[in-house]
A and B are shown apart, each in its own frame.
Chain A
Amino acid sequence: MALSRRLLPLFLRRGAPAVRALSTAAAPAAAVASEEEEESITVKGVRISGRPLYMDMQATTPVDPRVLDAMLPFYLSRYGNPHSRTHLYGWESDAAVEAARASVASLVGADPREIFFTSGATECNNIAVKGVMRFYRDRRRHVITTQTEHKCVLDSCRYLQQEGFEVTYLPVRSDGLVDLAQLEDAIRPDTGLVSVMAVNNEIGVVQPLEEIGRICKEKGVPFHTDAAQALGKIPIDVNRMGIGLMSLSGHKIYGPKGVGALYLRRRPRIRVEPQMSGGGQERGIRSGTVPTPLVVGFGAACEIAAQEMDYDHRRVSALQQRLLDGIRAQVDEVVINGSMEHRYPGNLNLSFAYVEGESLLMGLKEVAVSSGSACTSASLEPSYVLRALGVEEDMAHTSIRFGIGRFTTEEEVDRAIELTVRQVKKLRDMSPLYEMAKAGIDLKSIEWSQH
């Protein structure tokens, strides 16, 4: 706790000079932090003073200082391999891994023996989707998923298709939610897995897990959910929700990067074919040395999330409202992508009509956000998630995802509002589409020269 109080200002307030005197361990870090603050930073050719404020919590979150405190001893003094059976170093690491397993399990209402540590949610999704289908390949040839899943689920499904499995990619409604009747109709006698993500990474909508779980239970099909964006943010209970397999990630809940966990139901038992051959760690599901410090950090992050979920949720909801109200008060034609009712409030995905997303991001270099406009990548195609919602391509090009988290402050939200409003207004003054729309021209009536 003493360490925590010392580190807290360093990590959250970015190094007041006083920190330097406190401990030798913290000194170099503090020096780096203050040097960074003195100079302006050039990002992608854009010069800004100081570091941008961070609003990309769906991409990753900072490590909670309390999590780091829990991890550090396992780097510096208790560095044993948890699989070493012959000495204290091994025993203490093993005990720490098991304690972390219990923390993760308790956050989702599972038995610790149902939790398997992996490198992250992508690996979990691969093990779950490919592993289940391969294990039951003789009787089960069909997978159901949705069009708005994370790429690692979609890509695993595509891989299965190449192996001869059939995949149904369910469309979603315009609010981003899966249609339950459609899901039920899609289930066949040979369906081996239904994979629907809990909270969408791009638009933050929360799928009706309990109802999906009930349908799957009735039909006798395992239900897998990618809960990387949901863990610690919405209450999850694997029994109440009828979840058979679940993918979890450490770095989305203020834990370290490079660690995740797969939940695999024991009763009725769901089995998977492992991907990794090796020493048989994690009950043979995932061979390879369990990274004790990362796992301990993940466990600590889950413990904190269990204690603070209600508080965080209230705070994040208030900040989301503040952000939305602040922007809407000054800018018209702002559209929220995805259901507002069934949504994790830490995700606010907005489209600003008549403004292009990448140019908006370019002017928002002081705010670290993400855009649904894939112009930021090389493909020039707008986000497949927004298109699955039926968002018009031009509106998909203008979307910005604001991510709010545990450490986001009111000041940061206010600054984000100010910068966003200024930039949208500037770009609209420059937009031929805004000009036409204001002149009463229906943009859809125009025959555009396709390039």
Chain B
Amino acid sequence: MMLRVAGRRLLGAASGVGGGEAAPAVAAAGAASRGYHERVVDHYNNPRNVGSFDKDDADVGTGIVGAPSCGDVMKLQIRVDEGSGRIVDARFKTFGCGSAIASSSVASEWVKGKQMEEVVAIKNTEIAKHLSLPPVKLHCSMLAEDAIKAAVKDYEAKKGKLAKADE
């Protein structure tokens, strides 16, 4: 089921952007037969931004997505500069396959230094393309996208609550 959804999402993205997407899709298929793409291996061996922030800090947003029974759980945390809304730092912890670890590592890198509005626009297809994920691993990149959105949502919810408390 998950795969079918992933497939549809990929197809949707590809037809939306046009011919430019076709070439990477072929490259990804090639990578699947060879095994892991070197970027996946690199992120797996040297994951960026592993760790945790205190989830109770006012300027920290935490997103936890996935489920242990599915074999993937991602926790992505962002630290946001309250004045500018810029993400100043990020941390992740992931239970999952090499592709899931790499996807969350990439996500943690990409959100750093960006505005919150910018990062919620990060698409799973961009992460999948960057890591040349094969079709069976697309759900890893989708999970990473969800983790980013969940972290931003958590931060905003927290801010909303604090604002209410101030009133």
Contacts and interface: CB of A to CB of B under 8 A. Distances in A.
- Binding between chains A and B: yes
Interface of A: 43-46, 354-359, 362-363, 373, 375, 378, 380, 382, 392-394, 397, 429-435, 443, 448-451
A46 B41 contact: yes
19 contacts: A44-B35, A45-B37, A355-B95, A356-B72, A356-B95, A356-B97, A358-B97, A380-B70, A380-B71, A382-B71, A393-B68, A393-B69, A394-B71, A431-B94, A433-B95, A435-B52, A448-B73, A449-B146, A451-B66
A358 B98 contact: yes
Contact of A450 (B47, B67, B100, B101): B67
A430 B72 CA distance: 12
B100 A449 contact: no
Contacts of B50: 429-430
Interface string B45-77: 001001010000000000011111111111100
Contact of B68 (A357, A358, A362, A433): A433
B23 to A, nearest CB: 20
A411 to B, nearest CB: 25
A432 B74 contact: yes
Interface centre among B64, B69, B73, B93 (most CB of A within 10 A): B73
B96 interface: yes
A430 B98 contact: no
A156 B63 CA distance: 46
B124 to A, nearest CB: 12
Q: Which 6 A-B pairs have the closest CB atoms?
A: A44-B35, A448-B67, A394-B68, A45-B36, A432-B75, A393-B69
Interface of B: 2-3, 34-38, 40-41, 44, 47, 50, 52, 64-75, 93-98, 100-101, 136, 139, 142-143, 146
Contacts of A382: 71
A356 B142 contact: no
B36 A448 contact: no
B95 A431 contact: yes
B95 A451 contact: no
- Most chain A CB inside 10 Å of its own CB: which residue of B37, B97, B100: B97
A451 B101 contact: no
Given A45-B37, A430-B94, A432-B75, A359 B68 contact: no
Given A45-B36, A432-B74, 4 more contacts: A46-B35, A378-B136, A430-B50, A432-B95
Contact of A448 (B2, B66, B98): B66
Given A380-B2, A430-B94, A431-B95, A356 B71 contact: yes
A318 to B, nearest CB: 34
Nearest to B136: A378
B101 A359 contact: yes
Nearest to A363: B44
B36 A362 contact: yes
Contacts of A429: 50
Contacts of A397: 68-69, 71
Contacts of A451: 2, 65-67, 70, 72, 139, 142-143, 146
Contacts of B66: 448-449, 451
A80 to B, nearest CB: 42
A44 B70 contact: no
Contacts of A433: 68, 73, 95
B96 A359 contact: yes
A45 B96 CA distance: 18
A450 B94 CA distance: 16
Contacts of A435: 52, 75, 93
Contacts of A43: 35
B66 to A, nearest CB: 6
A44 B36 contact: yes
Contacts of A430: 47, 50, 93-94, 101
B41 A45 contact: yes
Given A44-B36, A432-B64, A359 B69 contact: no
Nearest to B66: A451
B71 to A, nearest CB: 4
A380 B36 contact: no
B80 to A, nearest CB: 20
B97 A44 contact: no
B133 to A, nearest CB: 12
Contacts of B95: 354-356, 431-434
Contact of A380 (B65, B68, B136): B136
Contacts of A450: 67, 70
